Structure 1
Amino acid sequence: MPKRILTGTVTSDANAQTVTVSVERRFTHPVLKKTIRKSKKYRAHDENNTFKVGDSVRIIECAPKSKTKRWEVLTSETAEA
């Protein structure tokens, strides 16, 4: 089964080797037929502390690294573009 890859923005880089990434998803409400934006925060492993607040990154699922970390930073969105 392929691992999920999400795109989001780094909101915190205060911890060592960890960044907090906010991922936003958009969907249509089933009753109101209105587009809704929901966001969720993920803690991702950043081995070399290379990503800073405001960076757009892609994260991928991985085996648990700690109590809260289940994601790794794959690449930066700006590096690919």
Structure 2
Amino acid sequence: MPKRILEGVVVSDKGDKTVVVRVNRTILHPLLKKTVRLSKKYHAHDEANVAKEGEIVRIAECAPKSKLKRWEVVSDTQASAS
């Protein structure tokens, strides 16, 4: 089975070799037929501590690294404008 890859914004890089990534997605509400925005935070492993707060990164599924980390940073996409 292929690994899932998500793209999101780093909201915290305070942990050692760990970043928290917020992934936003939109869905169509089944009853109201209205577009709803959902977001979820993932703890991701960042071996080299390269990802900084505000950057857009891609994360991929991996074997569990710790209690919360089941994702790892694959690549930096771009730096945020703010």
Is TM > 0.5 for Structure 1 vs Structure 2? yes
CA RMSD in angstroms, aligned pairs only: 1.0
Structure 1: where are the runs of 5+ without partners? none
Q: Secondary structure at the match of 2:22?
A: strand
Paired position in structure 2 for 1:9: 9
Quote the offset at 1:19 in angstroms.
0.1
Number of aligned residue pairs:
79
Equivalences for residues 1-81 of structure 1 within 5 A = 1-78=1-78
- The 2-side partners of 1:43 and 1:75 are apart by 15
Which stretches of structure 1, 4 residues or longer, exceed 6 Å deviation after superposition?
Answer: none
Q: Deviations over 1:25-75 (max 9, x none)?
A: 101101111100000000000011111110000000000000000000000
| SS of residue paired to 2:48 | coil
Structure holding more helix per residue: 1
Q: Percent identity?
A: 62
